[in-house]
Structure 1
Amino acid sequence: MSPEHTAQADDSKPGMEIAVVGGGLSGTLTAYLLGRAGHSVTLIDRHRSFPRTFRSEKLGPGEIETLRRFGLSAAVAARAACFDETLNMRRGSVVDRTHARHFGILYHDLVEAIRAEMPAAVRFVQGQVREIKAGARRQRITIVGHEEVTARLLVLATGTGDTLRRDLGITRRIIRPRQSVAFGFNLRPTGTDGFRHAALTWYGERVSDGIDYLSLFPVAGAMRANLFAYRDRGDSWIRALRERPKDTLAAAFPGLIGTMGDFEIEGPVDSWITDIAVADNYRQDGVVLVGDAFQTTCPATGTGVTRLLTDVERLCTSYIPRWTSHNVMTAADLAAFYDDAEKRRMDAYALETADFRRRLTIGTEMEWRLRRYCHFALRRVLNGIDRLSPALVGKLRQIKDAQSGQNVPSAV
């Protein structure tokens, strides 16, 4: 990326002047795609190098394919650990195996990989946004220690931060408080032979544990663990996981060490409690919201990056090209993005899948006990006949997912 600049009005330039506030994954991808399309883009973020943050750390085949369309899969793969098989376990026995290309990559490495590919048309301003004034004709962004940035369109990609949205009268409505808690940490093998499997997913043993699954997968230089559970912040089990992570894992997943090999926990245990929230009063002149700024996603579902990519791709490839000739950016103009059928389907799917995963994991009603039993029993049956007819198994899995209401990405 070029040194920091401020964007000034220049109607002689092709495309459109666009300011993107927020340099995480959604903002960085938006700036990249718009810059590649020839728009004059200013990306504004507090950090020149994105800091270490515990967020999405694994990409599945659908997400990799989207990055390929964006021209980014090779750049991301160069910083990721690639793996093609995941062993899926529950209660000490094999459920099935996932055969598909995945990337294990820490969130900040993913963002930096994309920033390194940023087109020259994108200018970067490092600083904290103090105020935003939006309107149909011009958007004005005041940044501490910098000149004002102006643009015809503002893309707000600030994640769960509320301050700037409040400037615009956009509110955040929590629809599922404390939906889930996620943990991330590194494992180091104690034996000389390393780990016995490239990647492993181990589903919760008991409903009372409130554990959806533990996912072990490689990232550059380490074996990473992501654990997803439905527990309260003050739960003593959470405190035990932070203080005695190996013992707590061994108790929650009997047979884990025997399956994967002995290990030690390296470094801190990161955690992330998710409230599922949606934006209200977001139909504004001159401003569009993408990613978590519009709707947050339960990380246990594995749909967060897919939903983000859908937002960014639909906005940058379907709608901004239509708006290039517009002299004004009214709320009515921008509503087409929010009303896009593919975006709405993905937003709804993320919410439905979050509800399904939670109920499948901790539901005690007879319906969910039966669905849980059938879900894993059918996966085991399909795994048993997989070698006989992979094509038939693929069809049966599609039927199973349609009937259960679940189409969880293969990363889960």
Structure 2
Amino acid sequence: MTMGRTVTASIDPVGSATIATDIAIVGGGLAGSLAAAVLARAGHRVALVDKRAVYPDEFRVEKIGGPQLDAFRRLGFIRGLASVACPYDRVLNIREGKVVDVSVGQAYGLPYADLVAMARSQLSDPSSLIVDEVTAISSSDDIQHLELASGRHVTARLVVLATGMAGALGYKLGIRRRLLAAGHSVSFGFTIARSDGAPFDFEALTCYGERTADGVDYLSLFPVRSGMRANLFMFRDPTDPIMRELRRDTEATVLRLLPGLHTYLGDFRVIDRIQNWVMDLSVVEGHLQPGIVLIGDAFQTNCPAAGTGVARLLVDVERLCTEHAPRWLSTPGMSRQKISEFYADRDKLAADQQSLKMARFRQALTSRDDIGWDVRRRLHFLRRSLTHRVDQMRPGWLAQVRSALRA
């Protein structure tokens, strides 16, 4: 169940023919909504254009934790996040029915639609949201022009494309998506509860796959306000019959893939609809154009199992909205040279490269069955298990080591 939300009124409801602004953001998902709020708070005139006044329930980002929280804090969204999400700070990690280790650290679980609604609620002027659809964009070194489905127009010095994997607008601009790996991963999302109505014996849990042939990376269980949310990540052919089995008989199929999970779940049932997502890895080309910049999935997609998608998105928002865009707007023009500074940003490049690296690593660690990766997989979990055991005997030593390494 998503949080209650009111429909935000579109900008200039009387419907003037042309809306002038500093920055037009196309796409009101997480990337676009966060960027709009950050830029508006900094005093820039912003128009956020999305065809939906209330973002629909989609199976996308559902948990935020670790360094992502630091970015939310720097950008000024941490209180908003905490107000709409379900907090947890301890994750039991298991494999083959045995404890690997325990992750400790603040995290939050919530539906993606609530996350987007939180970001939109941070807009200093709610009328910054234009509920409409962009049908065409023309760009130049000075002013960009957007045509809307309603017949209105928007002019802006800078256009930010935050349209996710929807590529129609980009295609019209000559931007193409280069496929790196088709059907790279498959994700399933659903909410579960114990059949007897009792709470689970854990706050959150991650169960890793047991056999390479199954292609299961891990199942992540974490609290949301409607119950215990489950995110299952797999590297397997999206047309495999197992996908249909997961949709039709989720409980039995999950336990068949992860038999060691039964001890921790007991008798459980799925209490909402099964959602799934097939992710291609891709990156755009032909994107360096005057007056237009792409962020988030509009520029490069991510592997959900690697958990780098939100981190990349936040780097894009932070670097563009707190560093590059304010500097660009302080001088005339919006040339390719200016735009190229964002794509060459050291932090952005590092985040993009790390995302692709982790996507390939998670797939290999899960699915490769040659002796080299078999040894690497065993050592990976053995190292984690031994570290956990030592930390149990000498509580706090791991935190001290990590603190020393960061110093």
- TM-score, with normalisation over the residues of structure 1? 0.92
Question: Contact between 2:97 and 2:263, CA under 8 Å: does it hold in 1?
Answer: no
Counting matched residue pairs gives: 395
Q: Is it true that 1:374 corresponds to 2:366 in the alignment?
A: no
Q: Distance in 1 between matches of 2:17 and 2:286?
A: 27
What is the CA deviation profile of residues 295-325 of structure 1, one whole-angstrom value per residue up to 9, with x for unaligned ones?
0000000110000000010001111121122
User: After alignment, is 187-196 or 334-343 more displaced?
Assistant: 187-196
Deviation at 1:388, TM superposition (A): 3.6
Alignment partner, residue 201 of structure 2: 196
Give, in angstroms, the shift of residue 9 of structure 1: 7.1
Instruction: State the Cα deviation string for residues 207-254 of structure 1 (Å, max 9, x = none).
Output: 110000000111112111000001112101111111110110111111
Residue 206 of structure 2 is aligned to residue 206 of structure 1 = no
d(CA) in 2 for partners of 1:81, 1:303: 21
The counterpart of 2:232, out of the listed 227, 232, 256, is 227
Aligned position for 1:251: 256
Residue 78 of structure 2 is matched in structure 1 by 73
Which of these residues, 10, 19, 38, is aligned with residue 3 of structure 1? 10
Q: Which residue of 2 aligns with 1:299?
A: 304
Q: Which residue of 1 aligns with 2:348?
A: 343
Q: Shift in Å at residue 62 of structure 1?
A: 1.3
Q: What is the CA–CA distance in structure 2 between the aligned matches of 1:198 and 1:2, rounded to whole Å?
A: 39
Q: How is 1:89-128 mapped onto 2 (pairs within 5 angstroms)? A: 89-120=94-125, 123-128=128-133
Distance in 1 between the 2:294 and 2:309 partners? 15
Is 1:20 the counterpart of 2:25? The answer is yes
Letter in structure 2 aligned against 1:3:
S
More divergent stretch after superposition (128-137 vs 348-357)? 128-137
Change (3 A) 1:70 1:397: closer
Match of 1:326 in 2: 331
Query: Out of 287, 295, 301, which is 1:282 matched to?
Result: 287
- Match in the other structure for 2:186: 181
Q: Displacement, 1:389?
A: 3.8
Q: AA paired with 2:360? A: D
338, 361, 369: which one pairs with 2:366? 361
Question: Which one-letter code corresponds to 1:164 in the other structure?
Answer: L
SS in 2 for 1:267: coil
CA distance in 2, matches of 1:383, 1:295: 35
- Counterpart Cα distance in 2 of 1:225 and 1:19: 36
2:187 is paired with a residue whose SS is strand
Q: Relative to structure 1, is the Cα distance of residues 399 and 226 closer, same or farther in structure 2, using a 3 angstrom cutoff?
A: farther
Distance 1:390 1:279, change over 3 A: farther
Q: Is the contact between residue 98 and residue 260 of structure 2 (CA under 8 Å) also seen in structure 1?
A: no
The corresponding residue for 1:156 is 161
- After TM superposition, give the deviation of residue 2 of structure 1 in Å: 5.1
Matched residue SS, 1:285 = coil
SS class of match (2:52):
coil
Equivalent residue for 1:271, pick from 267, 270, 276: 276
Amino acid at match of 2:215: G
In structure 1, the residue matched to 2:3 is none
Q: Which runs of 4+ in 1 moved over 4 A?
A: 6-10, 394-400
Unmatched segments (≥5 aa) in structure 1: 11-15, 401-412
Counterparts of 2:151 and 2:341, CA distance in 1: 33
Whole-Å Cα distance in 1 between the matches of residues 274 and 226 of structure 2? 17
Aligned-residue RMSD, C-alpha: 1.9
2:247 is aligned, of 242, 251, 271, to 242
Change (3 A) 1:121 1:214: closer
Alpha-carbon distance in structure 2 between the residues aligned to 1:145 and 1:122: 17
Counterpart secondary structure, 1:85: strand
Structure 1 residues 172 and 7: alpha-carbon distance in aligned structure 2, compared to 1, 3 A threshold: farther
- C-alpha contact 1:41 1:121 (8 A) present in aligned 2: no
Conserved 8 A contact 1:9-1:17: no
SS at match of 2:272: strand
Q: Secondary structure at the match of 2:146?
A: strand
Paired-residue identity, %: 41
Q: 1:172 aligns with which of 169, 177, 185?
A: 177
Q: Distance in 1 between matches of 2:404 and 2:365?
A: 18
| In structure 2, C-alpha distance between the alignment counterparts of 1:110 and 1:361, rounded to whole Å | 30
Inter-CA distance 8–143: structure 2 relative to 1 (3 Å threshold)? closer
SS in 2 for 1:350: helix
Give the corresponding residue for 2:5: none
The answer to whether the 8 Å contact 2:81/2:118 transfers is yes
Assess, with a 3 A threshold, how the Cα gap between structure 1 residues 18 and 170 changes in structure 2: closer, same or farther: same
TM-score, normalization by structure 2: 0.93
| Residue 410 of structure 1: aligned partner | none
Cα 1:320–1:121 change in 2 (3 A) is: farther
Are the structure 2 counterparts of residues 20 and 26 from structure 1 closer, same or farther at C-alpha, using a change threshold of 3 Å?
same
Measure how far apart 1:122 and its partner are.
6.2
Cα distance in 1 for partners of 2:151, 2:265 equals 52
Match of 1:39 among 38, 44, 51: 44
